[in-house]
């Protein structure tokens, strides 16, 4: 019995020592714009960092605070400034821009505590901590955090690819010499027409489409064999727009 009582007494003493702050100093006091803020969960010192209750200070500075339990996220809004941070994460978002925290936001006594420096970075306030008196002084500047940089100007538009639509001849169409070739493409594009038979070029012509992109021309070619299949290769090109090509098989009468 004496041994059990001694162990119990040792346990009680140990727990009591853990509950006492290592520093043995008074609670950190916080003043916002000259007025002391009272918290149900006071600020704490973790290592060399002072963690303060976010909601109590933000609301004292006129910001609205919302807790999202599903994602363990705190969202605050002050005028045009939006703040979002997640418990356990060292990255917060201020107006969409990432801000790195000295230590992650954490829940102590049911309240979200954040590093003191984050108050300055998120709402543009002037923050000072006097370690000797363990006093935090926060003064609103009204400036807010700097707005995110404007997006870079858009680059030049991607080049438009040239298009080519051949109206005549159509695939399988019997054609005579000269052969009429009609189509549409980009305005003022250069159009090259080749007549091919068994891998050899038997006809060739270069024309320019008009301002509406239309072309209509007759192409003469050498007839090697009649009632045989020839290939008509039409290419349209324009600087900065690439080349479009179409091949049509026709029968020479």
The string of DSSP codes covering 177-237 is SSEEEEEEESTT-EEEEEEEETTEEEEEEEEE--TTSEEEEEE-B--SSTTEEEEEEEEEE
Residues 177-191: pLDDT tens digits? 999 999 999 999 999
Flag the least confident range among 23-32, 125-134, 140-149: 140-149
Q: Residue 26's pLDDT is what?
A: 60
Taking CA atoms, 25 is separated from 32, 108, 210, in Å, by: 22, 19, 89
Question: How many C-beta atoms surround the C-beta of residue 14 within 10 A?
Answer: 10
Helices (H) and strands (E) in the chain, counts: 3, 21
Residues 53-109: pLDDT tens digits? 888 888 888 888 898 888 899 898 888 888 898 999 888 888 888 888 888 888 888
Q: Residue 24's pLDDT is what?
A: 42
Whether the pLDDT of residue 16 is over 60: the answer is no
Q: How far is CA 41 from the centre of its chain?
A: 37
Residues 35-44: pLDDT tens digits? 888 888 888 8
Q: Single out the residue of 172, 168, 196 nearest to residue 184, CA to CA.
A: 168
Cα first-last separation, the chain: 121
Residues in the chain: 253
Q: How far is CA 18 from the centre of its chain?
A: 46
Distance CA 4, CA 110 (A): 35
Pair of tokens at residue 236: 């349209």
pLDDT category of residue 30 using cuts at 50, 70 and 90: confident
> What is the rounded radius of gyration, in angstroms, for the C-alpha atoms of the chain?
40
pLDDT category of residue 147 using cuts at 50, 70 and 90: low
Whether the pLDDT of residue 159 is over 60: the answer is yes
Q: Single out the residue of 174, 189, 190, 177 nearest to residue 249, CA to CA.
A: 174
Q: Residue 151's pLDDT is what?
A: 75
């Amino acid at each position: 019995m004496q041994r059990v009582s001694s162990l119990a007494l040792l346990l009680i003493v140990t727990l009591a020592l853990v509950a006492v702050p290592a520093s043995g100093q008074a609670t950190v006091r916080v003043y916002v714009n000259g007025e002391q803020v009272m918290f149900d969960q006071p600020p704490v010192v973790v290592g060399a960092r002072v963690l303060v209750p976010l909601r109590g200070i933000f609301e004292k500075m006129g910001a609205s605070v919302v807790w999202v339990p599903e994602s363990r996220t705190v969202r605050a809004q002050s005028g045009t400034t939006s703040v979002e941070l997640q418990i356990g994460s060292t990255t917060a978002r201020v107006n969409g821009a990432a801000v790195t925290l000295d230590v992650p936001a954490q829940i102590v006594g049911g309240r979200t505590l954040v590093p003191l420096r984050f108050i300055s970075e998120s709402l543009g306030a002037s923050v000072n901590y006097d370690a000797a008196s363990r006093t935090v002084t926060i003064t609103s500047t009204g400036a807010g955090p700097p707005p995110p940089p404007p997006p870079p100007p858009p680059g030049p538009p991607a080049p438009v690819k040239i298009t080519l639509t051949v109206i005549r001849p159509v695939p399988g169409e019997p054609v005579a010499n000269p052969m009429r070739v009609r189509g549409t493409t980009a305005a003022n594009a250069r159009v090259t027409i080749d007549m091919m038979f068994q891998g050899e070029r038997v006809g060739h012509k270069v024309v320019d489409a008009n301002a509406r992109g239309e072309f209509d021309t007759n192409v003469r070619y050498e007839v090697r064999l009649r009632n045989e299949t020839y290939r008509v290769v039409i290419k349209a090109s324009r600087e900065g727009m690439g080349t479009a090509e179409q091949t049509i098989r026709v029968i020479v009468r």
